[in-house]
Chain A
Amino acid sequence: MNQFQYVRPTKPQAAIDAVAKDANAKFIAGGTNLVDLMKRGVMTPQKLVDINRLPLAKIERQGNTLRLGALALNSAVANDAQVRERHPLLSLALNAGASPQLRNMATVGGNMLQRTRCTYFYDLSMPCNKRQPGTGCGALEGINRMHAIFGFSDKCIAVHPSDMSVALVALDATVLVSGPKGNRQLAFADFHRLPGDTPERDSNLEPGELITAVDVPDSPFTKHVHYQKVRERASYAFALLSVAAALDLDGNTIKAARLAMGGVAHKPWRLTAAEQVLVGKPATEDTFRQAATVAMQGAKAFKHNAYKLRLAPNTIVQALKTAAAV
């Protein structure tokens, strides 16, 4: 690991200033991703701004939304009574991620900004445009079993690994940020980016901007929800792919639906067109299959991930079946 400076401000503004003024500075929250990357030399910040003393860990209601402080722990959010009651999908997604030990360290903001697990990103001796722009994409013609089927570019085919974010994009959350130029809000769906020509940028945060909270609006999706994560072992593995499904049912008729996928794109992948297919239809396997077919439009596979073209629609169907309990 390189040597670095370490500061631990207590006021958000001081933290923002520290990072805004120094291109080589980084916030550190739980450290479960950043420290790993530093040990491997993938990220080499010269200054760490520890934000754990900022008052951003609360989970509280604000009008019609539940506000999750950026420093709220993944375990705290997953087990929060209000989250479990009003947003059980979020709780399910969080508990499908990592391990209890990691969830006890990981934070909301850090989880959103965790970096891809693409093996080429991690190996300094291999090309990776995300790690080192201009070196090429190792995965494009390499081992790409885990990689994207949507929204990739020829510069990068990595996927975003977060489970939590899949639920949050489905639940129409909003990200609150504070930066050198003041406060602003981003729709969760607009927070992460597609790789395009700048895969080195994972999100639309500007330099120095600090996530302060994520707002999750009240919704009817309190009952018929499911987070289906497909992985090679029963626990403690990143998703081959995952589906967040939420239904609002009137008898057997779907009044509203939310669907998103993880492990298929550079960002949590909201399936709006498929949601529309569901609305007004009976909650049957047939309906789910139709939605899955629409969801897969535009998907394209690489050498080793063609299975995702079969697995993704099946997983959508399975998630919806479980959500609807049919």
Chain B
Amino acid sequence: MKTLDKQIGAPMNRVDGHQKVTGAAKYSAEYELPGMSYGVLVGSTIAKGRIAHIDTKAAVGAPGVLAVITHLNSPQVPGFKPTGKDPSQPQTVGGPLKIFHDDKVRFNDQPIALVVADTFERARYAARLVMAHYTQETHQTNMAAGAKDAFLPTSAQKNPKSPMADYQRGQADAYKTAALKIEQEYVIPTEMHHPMEMQAITAHWEAPDRLTIYDKTQGTIGTRRDFAKEWNLPEANVQVIATFVGGAFGNALHSWPHESAAIIGAKVVGRPVKLMLTREQMFTQVGYRPYTWQKVGMSATADGKITAITHESIGQTSTYEEFTESTLAQTRMMYQSPNLTTRYRIAALDVGTPIWMRGPGEATGAFALESAMDEMAYLLKLDPLEFRLRNYTDQDPEKNRPWSTKFLKECYRAGAERIGWTKRKLEPGALRDGDWLVGYGMGVGTFGAHRGAAHVSAQLLPNGTVVLQCATTDIGPGTGTAMTQIAADTLGLPPEKIRFELGNSGFPQSGSQGGSSTVNTVGQAVQDACMALKDKLRELAAAGAPAFASAKKEDVALANGYLTLGSNAATRVPYADLLKQPGAALVNVESKPTGNDGQLYSMYSFSVHFAEVRVHALTGEVRVSKLVSCADAGTIINQKTAANQMKGGAVGGIGMALMEHAIIDDRYGRYVTKDFADYHVPVHADAPAVEVYFVNQPDLHVNALGTKGIGEIATIGVAPAIANAIFNATGKRVRELPITPDKLV
């Protein structure tokens, strides 16, 4: 018998790659339904106030218009009754905007009307005819001003154990009295997710109480719950389909007003409504990485031992919904500092609600922490890598317990070697290549290795294919591919014999794709489901072949139409015998962490990024000439898609460091960056070939596969690596991102 190649770890091509590159993959705006109509949203042109009058007459009378919906005529949405807190949003207080619910304007470009027409062009034309008049109130969109009223998040006020609460070990603010110290402020501006696919939904009421939506979401189950609640429907009556998601980076982890609008629109016109946001609306409607001010104080001994760190941060949120993120998490556990203080606050501005953006709070926090590490190392005249090694933690200093696994030193070693760290000079401005100043920098990232609960079903079909189903989504990392590999190895089948179906709330339940947790969670559930299927097949086989009755499920194998036992290929039962009863060869498994590893160990993925940059001596232009990203992310299921995630995350970090910057004109409380001419993301020419290194050591405390998660650590730490390299090249320390030429010239 020919043994199959092991799939886990192999650089297998994406199972849906062909569909994606040929256009066969269907995204939420690409479903065609009979009677389709098209929705276009009209946004407010003030940031705060009331709609005094809204004139929709011209729009209603425009050709092809089916309805113009505003707060004046919107049907009653049962879930929009004032309920105060929204339990579906555990980390936030207040609730998502209730669209068309009242005359209040809470941020600029808030949707105030939905025009539905028989074609998209007609809807867009009519949308421009809607005229609103406002009673304006004084708005506040400026963070410097808003920060004066910053407050401790409600979650932390209620629960002092909340990760958002103030934290202290040792003495508070101990750095202040030290001899060798730094104290600096860091700012990251508002950044936008801007996945390639814009947010889109096709909403279809199949019956007055049955709703199907084809929606861009990172979680079909969460979205189903949100809209079932909004319309007071049993969850079973709502179906959410997100078979393909064209990137999201976090902005589809929340249900947004445009989704509610399309559902309302479909209700009103009695036809399916398709609604896709414009790129411009992507700046205002679907969240962003919040503008964040930070201050880091740090002290150390002359021989490079950190004695104290204080890290404070104020992040931006909206007035109607409290958004928080783990900006300060990395600071509490990354370095061995006996004295450590963190204080996290938020400031409510008249803007839309932020939402986690790749490497959420940690990427923001790491910019400040890892810049400060570089500043401190420079003060001590120490190599920044050596400085980090001297403060390395062999156990978690925050929780005082061992790491489940930590191979960060191995990442340091591999990265330093690959970037050529020995070329780095301690003094900035010492390396030059023609008109370009050359510098090297590093930045460290970490993110919790989270595992939740997921259900997966597995079924053997008569043709020998095993179909697995799970409601999880794939926003781009290659989830379907990784799951196929896990299933193939567990069942001993070639990948062609596996079909993993996802992106449908009708499938067995799982959490949203976010927080680098999908492979940890769903991957393990796939393995468990495959084992359960083998056991089920073994039981079915036992009826005709008693040898199976006492066999172990591990010894059962599927091959060429037979269930076989161990190496004895003679003991076999044809599939047809197992599949006599319809549905017999089907299992549905729930998989979640068991035992108390979660209490005994601190579980994190780690990364380090090394950057080589060139800064033009006269024009201040920055080019990242080399980037090496090393990750301790546990078992790597697919070398190719995993490396691809690391590279994408690194390029996102280049954007964060060098160009991404959403700007509001505070006089109007309105974004002046409204398209990709104003809001820059890296193009190919900005991205060097990113070299990726994985330690690839399993962490069996997280799950049996040993995975830890990749998506976030790919970005966390990249921006400070680049900022530190720019300092090394130029001697200029830029503490406010992005580092554009105007700040260096």
A residues within 8 Å of B by Cβ? 1-3, 41, 117, 119-120, 122-123, 125-126, 138, 141-143, 145, 228, 230-238, 240, 307-308, 310-311, 314-315, 317-318, 321
Contacts and interface: CB of A to CB of B under 8 A. Distances in A.
B683 A119 contact: no
Interface in B120-158: 121, 124-125, 128
B295 interface: no
Contact of A1 (B124, B667, B682, B743): B124
B668 A234 contact: no
A125 B124 contact: no
Contact of B618 (A1, A120, A126, A315): A315
B736 to A, nearest CB: 13
A148 to B, nearest CB: 15
B677 A314 contact: no
Contact of A122 (B658, B659, B674, B684): B674
Given A119-B672, A141-B667, A240 B742 contact: yes
B582 to A, nearest CB: 54
Contacts of B209: none
Contact of B741 (A143, A238, A311, A317): A311
B683 A232 contact: no
Interface residues of B, number: 36
Interface of B: 45, 121, 124-125, 128, 435, 616, 618-621, 623, 658-659, 663, 665, 667-668, 670, 672-674, 677-678, 680, 682-686, 738, 740-743, 745
B668 A143 contact: no
B623 A119 contact: no
Given A1-B121, A307-B745, A311-B741, A125 B670 contact: yes
10 contacts: A2-B125, A3-B125, A142-B665, A143-B665, A232-B741, A310-B745, A311-B620, A315-B619, A317-B618, A321-B435
B619 A119 contact: no
Chain A interface mostly:
loop
Contacts of B45: 125
B686 A123 contact: no
A234 B621 CA distance: 9
A237 B680 contact: yes
A138 B672 CA distance: 10
A307 B742 contact: yes
Contacts of A117: 677-678
A138 B665 contact: yes
A283 B234 CA distance: 80
B33 to A, nearest CB: 25
Contact of B658 (A3, A142, A233, A310): A233
B699 to A, nearest CB: 37
B190 to A, nearest CB: 13
Contacts of B618: 314-315, 317-318
Given A142-B672, A233-B682, A314 B745 contact: yes
B643 to A, nearest CB: 23
Given A240-B741, A317-B618, 13 more contacts: A1-B124, A125-B668, A125-B670, A141-B667, A230-B620, A230-B621, A233-B659, A233-B686, A235-B683, A236-B683, A310-B745, A314-B618, A315-B618
Given A1-B124, A126-B668, A142-B665, A232 B680 contact: yes
Contacts of B658: 232-233
A142 B673 CA distance: 13
A311 B745 contact: yes
Contacts of B742: 145, 240, 307-308, 311
A128 to B, nearest CB: 12
B680 A318 contact: no
Contacts of A1: 121, 124-125
A233 B680 contact: yes
Contacts of A310: 745
B745 A238 contact: no
Nearest to B623: A234
B435 A318 contact: yes
Nearest to A44: B128
Contacts of A2: 125
Given A141-B667, A142-B672, A143-B663, A314 B680 contact: no
Contacts of A321: 435
Nearest to A146: B678
Contacts of A318: 435, 616, 618-619
Which one of A41, A126, A228, A233 has the highest number of Cβ atoms from chain B below 10 Å of its Cβ? A233
Nearest to A306: B742
A230 B128 CA distance: 37
Contacts of B678: 117, 119
Contacts of A138: 665
A230 B659 CA distance: 13
A240 B616 CA distance: 15
B627 to A, nearest CB: 14
